[in-house]
Structure formats: C-alpha cells, structure tokens
Amino acid sequence: MTKFLVIRFSSIGDIVLASPVFRHLKEQVYEGAEVHFLTKEAFAPVVEADPYIDKVYTIRESTHEVREAILDENYDYIIDLHRNVRSRMIKKKTKALSFTLEKYNWEKWLWVNFNKNKMPQKHIVDRYLDTILRFDIKNDGKGLHYFIPEKEKLNINGLLPGIQDNGFIAWAISAAHDGKKMSKDKLMELLPKVDHPIVLIGGPEDKSIGQELADKIGHVNTLIGKLSLHGSASVIDQAKLVVSPDTGMMHIAAALNKNVVSYWGCTHPGLGMYPYLPENKFAIVMPSGGRVRPCSKLGNRCRYGNNKKCPDLIEDLDIVSKTEYFWKA
C-alpha cells in the first residue's frame, strides 16, 4: 500500500486551497493509497470531514510532537505544500521521496518592495497540483472541496426566521490582518446601499462591530462570534452569494461553489490566491485611486499608513454593482 503525507501547517484558506491535492492523490494515483495530512492543531477542523484524507496528524508548536509517529508510518512520498523549517525537518528525518511547492518568495518580495511583478500568472491551486504532476494526474476540473460535518449543519431560518424566504448575502467582515478588511466606518457607509438581506459572519473579535451594524442598518443581521468554522460555512452554503475579503471564508465559498464578490485591500489577487472558480462565478473589486499594491504579502502592513487603509478606498458602487449582478444571476 502506497502512503502519502501532505504537509500544510496553516491557515484556513491555504488548507482549503490544498483540497484538490488530497482528492487527486486519492482518486488518480494509486488504487488503495493512503493520504495523511500534517497541520497545526488549530486548523485540523478544516479537514475533519474530508473523505479524501485517511489520517490527520497535528502539532501545536514543534514537529517533535509527532516525529516518532511520522517515522513509524514509513511514508513512500511527502507532498510539502508549506516549504518552511518545520516541513524541511520532517522531510529530512524520513526516507520518503518528497515533492515541494515553489513559493516564489523572491518574486513576492520584489513586487511588495519594488513594485516589480515577476509572479507567474498561475493560481496557487494549480501550483499545488504541480507538486504531484509526476504521478500523471490530470486536473479533474472539480475545483476546491469543503465538507461540513452533519452535526454542524445549521438551519439558517431557525437562527434568523424568514431570512431565507427571498435569499440573503453572506458577508464576511473579519480577516487576520487589518489590511485585508474594511473598517467599521466604511461598512456603515457601504451596507445601507446594498438593497438585499445581509447576514454578517466573522470572528469573535468583530462581534461588537457586527452588532452595531445590525442595530443601525435594518436589513443587516449578524451571527458574528456565534458560530464555529463549520457553522459559518453552513451559512455560506445557504446564501445566495458571498461577499468577502481575501480570507478563508472566500475560499470556503469557492469550495461550496457559491458566487463570490471578492474585495482586496493591501494584498493583491496577482499573488495567485483569488477565488478558484470559473470566471463567471466571481468578481474581484480593488481600491481606487491608483495606489501601488500589494502593500504586503499577508495584508499586515499598509504602505500608506493607518489613516486610510487600502480596503476603505474601494468604491461603494463597485461592490454594490457586483452584488446586484450576482443577486440577479
């Protein structure tokens, strides 16, 4: 029996983007092959219901936590989708043949620091799949996948009675870094212009903002800070369309084959992590004003300072028109 270990330690979006690798290994490589996954403990729930993964190993801080278990597995192949010190240690300790993602860190640095775009015009998912091309796989065209455990599936009408009668927009407002998300003032200005029911989703750090928006804007409802990761995915699954910054929720929406309005601030879709969907199922909205971007690789820095970060320079009309288009689609 052939055994694979796929490594990606973080984060939610990156792991969802890796989902086609699990599926292609399981369905196209060796019959009966086992696919295992190594990630950080905090992100294991992303794949807990994935039928293409046979076993998940997790770490909190160090690969020493699982080193002996990994060695005992006697893997035939390691697929390294993270390419860092931790994954390098795993590859060094095992005798498995390894295939490693090309991250293009030099090219990213050039773009961020000198505005010289030398990045390949290739989505990160296709670059992930490049790591297993030697197994003669062919892209099955099924895109990303995301499986919600049955126990985590929600009835949105039970939480917000009547919300699904005419459909609603799932709107993610949270992000790991401020350079990816709109400010409260920007959302307070924008959301009243979207003439459809909205359900806000996001992390507990934005719970008070979500409640204030819901209190002041009649067609806005909030479930921010009330749901698990899978609960948020279940809301997305029931939505008519999804509006999201460059975050894991955007990639989950793509995995659930939803229409997506994707807005970008201090990061840039040219880095290869835009929604992995057919072109007619997503729209990208970026700041106006000719700002030089990306400001940073992760959205953790805005080159223009903190007074007016890039996401707040997105034109309201751009968002409104794109949401209206997909609402009618």
How many Cβ atoms sit within 10 Å of the Cβ of residue 143? 19
Q: Are 261 and 171 in contact (CB under 8 A)?
A: no
The mean pLDDT of 83-112, rounded to a whole number, is 96
Closest C-alpha to 8, from 125, 95, 111, 122? 125
pLDDT tens column, 10-34: 999 999 999 999 999 999 998 889 9
Q: Is the pTM of this model over 0.75?
A: yes
Cis peptide before 287 (omega within 30 of 0): no
CATH classification of 3-135 is 3.40.50.2000, yes or no? yes
All CATH 3.40.50.2000 domain ranges in the chain, comma separated: 3-135, 150-328
Q: What distances in angstroms separate CA 41 from CA 9, 74, 84, 149, one per listed residue?
A: 9, 22, 17, 18
Reported CATH class of domain 150-328? alpha beta
The mean pLDDT of 57-81, rounded to a whole number, is 97
H or E stretch covering 114:
helix 105-114
Average pLDDT across the chain, whole number: 97
pLDDT at 307 over 80: no
Closest C-alpha to 319, from 245, 264, 261? 261
Helix (H, G, I), strand (E, B) or coil at 242: strand
Of 73-77, 83-87, 286-290, 321-325, give the lowest mean pLDDT range: 286-290
- 95 pLDDT band (50/70/90 cuts)? confident
pLDDT tens column, 227-236: 999 999 999 9
